[in-house]
Structures are given as C-alpha cells and as structure tokens.
Structure 1
Amino acid sequence: MSNTQELAARLLEARRTHTLIDAGSVQSCVPANADEAYVVQQLVLDKLGGCAGYKIGAGSATAVPQCAPLPATRVFGAAAGIRAGDYARIGLELEIAFSFAEDVDHRLSEQADEVIDAIDTMSVVAEIVDSRFDAWPDVDPLLQLADLQNNGALVMGDTRPYDRSFDVSAPHVSFYCGNQEIFQGVARHPAGDPRRLIAWLVARTLETGHSIPARTVLTTGSYTPLYIATGPGKVRGEIEGFGKIEFEIR
C-alpha cells in the first residue's frame, strides 16, 4: 500500500468510526506536496459516494488558492439541520457559494472575466469545519488539505440569481449560534474578491481535462471568524441585501 493509499484509508476509517487520528502516527504519510494531497482527496471521495461541490480558499488576495471536494453525503439543505454526534467538533463559518447553470467544460473560456460572467446562482451557506486529526488545528497543512481541507459538511441557505453588482468583497454580515454573536458588521473576504477563486478552479479543472457538472456547489471561504459550537442550538446568518441561513444543531 502506498503512502497516499494508507493516509486515505486512515481518513476513511476515522470518518466511519468517528474517532480521531494521532497526527504523529501518520508522519510517514504526509503528502510531499499539494498534488499528492489532492490524490488522497480523490481516494477518500471515491469511497464517500461522489462529489456535490468544492470548497476553495486563499489566505490573501494574492495567495495561490487551494480546493477540496465536498462529499455529496455532506451537503445539506438548512431545513435538515445537523446532528452533533456526526462530528468530532462543529466549527461554523459563513460563506457565499456559487454555481453554474450548465456543465463547465472546454466550451467555457478560461478567461476569468468570462468565467465569472457565466455564474448563474449565489447562495448563503455555512460550512461545518471538522478534522479527522486530534491535534487540529496544529496539524501539517498538507495533511489538512488531504483531509478535504477540514470539511465536515456544507449547509445551504437562501439561493438567488447571481447579481454581478453585489459587493462580494465586503458585504455586511451577521452570524449567531444561539445567543452568541459570532460576527456583526462589514466583513472583508480574505481572498479579496472570492469570485477569483471560482475562475481559478475552472482553469485548473479544464487544464486537467475534466469538467464541473451543472449546479455543482462552489463555496469560496469564510467571511467570519471560526466559531466552535459547544452544544445544540440554532445557527442564524444573514448577508445583508442578499439572503439568510438558519438551521439547528441537534
């Protein structure tokens, strides 16, 4: 068994048993680079029932983005809520996701402006941040990337037609878990304009000869600080002038 296969097997076992991995026990399996981490992602995804979307992120307006697939079994409508017992931890982040009305393939230009103009919908979403490693967040970044970039689930809120004029770089947002205010105010997206992440993913996908199916959910990183929920409660988020999300942690 190769190191990538061994790491994928350990990550799948952690998901199946809801147990955490001692990061020290997989040091021999740390990916050598991002490409190896992406191979591990695909091995994990192949056993989880397919892909419903991607999370894409970048630490600054000039940083090279990274991405991870979202397992179809872990993308939910807000009405379904989430079960706390399904996660080792429940980190909450408020984001905007986008989608295309048609398959993204060689017919779509790789020019960023044309990719962005082809976006069809935008959604208010909350990412459930979780990790299969016990020492998280003090874990090698390449292990985190292999672990679907710490994705636990994605919860979908209001969806509307894409509005090119909406200020996605600095919207006014509010985010609460129960009575706890997580964030309130104008939020600056760490990647600058998050739509550049969509253009990057499309270019990367087309370069590899693959496509992105229509209505694939493409979420683009958090507007809010990470908040770890400690028990059941109602999560409420709003992006002013755009939409809301509300769901229960049970």
Structure 2
Amino acid sequence: MTPTQSLATQLIDAHHTHTLIDSARTSELKLADVEEARVVQQLVLAELGTCAGYKIGAGSPEAEPQYAPLPASRVFGAATGIRLADYARVGLELEIAFSFAQDIDQSFAERTEDALDFIDTMSVVVEVVDSRFEAWPKVNPLLQLADLQNNGALVIGDTRPYDRTFDFASPQVTFRCGDHEIFSGRARHPAGDPRRLVAWLVAQTLRSGHTIAARTVLTTGSYTPLYMAKAPGTVRGEIEGFGSIEFKIA
C-alpha cells in the first residue's frame, strides 16, 4: 500500500467511526507535495460520495489559495441541521458560497475572469470544521489539505440571486451559537474580495482539464472566528443586506 493509499484508508475510517487518528500515527504520516494531497482527497471523496462543491480559502489578499472538494453526503440545507454525534468536533464558521448558472468548461480557458459574470446565486452558509487528526490544529498543512482541508460539513441557508454590487469584502455580520455571541460587527474577509478565490479556482480547474458543473457550491472562507460548539443548540447567522441562516445542533 502506498503512503497516499494508507493515509486515505485512515481518513476514511476516521470519517466512518468519528474517531481521530492519534498523534503518534500522525507524526509518522508524510506527503511529498500538494499533488499527493490531492490524490488522497480524491480517494477519500470516492468513498464518501460525489463532489457537491469546493471550499476555497486564502489567509490574506496576496496569499496563494487552497481548495478541497465537498462530499455531497456532507452538504445540507439548514432545515436538516446537524448532530454532534456525527463529528469528532464541531467548529463553526460563517461564509458566503456562490454557484454558476452553467457549466464552466474549456470555452472559458482563455477568459477565466469572465466566469464571474456567470455566477447565478449566492448563499449564506456555515462550514462545520472537523479534522480527522487528534493533534489538530498542530498538523502538517499537507495532511490538513489531504483531509479535505478540515471540512466536516457545509450547511446552506438563505440563497438569492447574485448581486455583484454587494460589499463582499466587509459586510456587517452577526453570528451566534445558543446564548454565545461569536461575532457581531463589520467583518473583514481574509482574502479581501472572496470572488477572487472563485476566479482562481476556475483557472486551476480549467488548467487541469476539468469542468465546474452548474450549481456546484463554492464556499469561500470565513468572515468570523472559528467557534467550537460543545453542546446542542441553535446556530444563527446574518449577513446584513444579504440573508441569514438558522439551524439546530442536536
């Protein structure tokens, strides 16, 4: 068994059992580069189901983004909610996701920036952060990338037609879990305008000879600090002038 196959097997087992890869084993796991991490992503995705979308992120407006596929089995509407028992940990982040009205295929290869004109919808979403590693967050970045960039699930709230004039870089945001206020105020997206991440993903995808299918969910990083939920409760988020999300953690 190759190192990528071995890591994928351990991650798949952790997904199914909601247990963590212990620190001793994690220290022995090695990946050579981003390409090996992508191989592991695809092996894990093949076990968890089809791809419903991608999470894309960057730590600053100048930073090189990274992305990971979102398994369709882990993308939910807000009415469904989530259960603590289905995750080893439940971190919460408030984000905006986009989708395209049509397939973004090789006809866009020489005009990737034009793809933004074909964004059809935008949604208020919450990403559930759930690493499969006991040592997280002190885990090699390549291992985190292989682990679907620490994605546990994506919960989708209000969805509306795309508004290119919306202030995506610094909207007014409120985010709560139960009685705890996670964030309230003017948010600053770490990547600047998150749509640059969408354009970057389009370029990366087309360069590799692939397509982004219409209605693929593209979530673009958190406006709020990561909050670790420890008990059942109601999650509520609002992005002023855009929409809201509300769901139960059981």
Equivalent in the alignment of 2:210 = 210
Are residues 1:101 and 2:88 paired?
Answer: no
Equivalent in the alignment of 2:225 = 225
Deviation at 1:110, TM superposition (A): 4.8
Deviation at 1:94, TM superposition (A): 0.1
Equivalent in the alignment of 1:113 = 113
Opposite residue 152 of structure 1, the aligned amino acid is G
Match of 2:199, SS? helix
Counterparts in 2 of 1:122-137, with a 5 A limit? 122-137=122-137
Equivalent in the alignment of 2:76 = 76
Equivalent in the alignment of 1:19 = 19
Q: String of CA shifts for 1:131-189, please: whole Å, max 9, x gaps.
A: 10111111111111100000000000000000000010000000000110000001000
Runs of 4+ in 1 over 3 A off after TM superposition: 26-29, 109-113
Are residues 1:181 and 2:186 paired?
Answer: no
Q: Is the 8 A contact 1:110 1:203 kept in 2?
A: no
Q: String of CA shifts for 1:1-25, please: whole Å, max 9, x gaps.
A: 1100000000001111111001431
TM-score (ref. length: structure 2) = 0.98
Q: Is the 8 A contact 1:112 1:196 kept in 2?
A: no
Using the alignment, how far apart are the partners of 2:50 and 2:157 within structure 1?
22
Gaps of 5+ in 1: none
Opposite residue 50 of structure 2, the aligned amino acid is G
| Identity among equivalent pairs (%) | 69
Q: String of CA shifts for 1:97-138, please: whole Å, max 9, x gaps.
A: 000011110122453531211111100000000010111111
Match of 1:189, SS? coil
Opposite residue 145 of structure 1, the aligned amino acid is L
What value does the CA root-mean-square deviation take over the aligned residues?
Answer: 1.0
Deviation at 1:26, TM superposition (A): 3.9
Gaps of 5+ in 2: none
Using the alignment, how far apart are the partners of 2:212 and 2:127 within structure 1?
20
Equivalent in the alignment of 1:152 = 152
Opposite residue 189 of structure 1, the aligned amino acid is H
TM-score (ref. length: structure 1) = 0.98
Are residues 1:39 and 2:39 paired?
Answer: yes
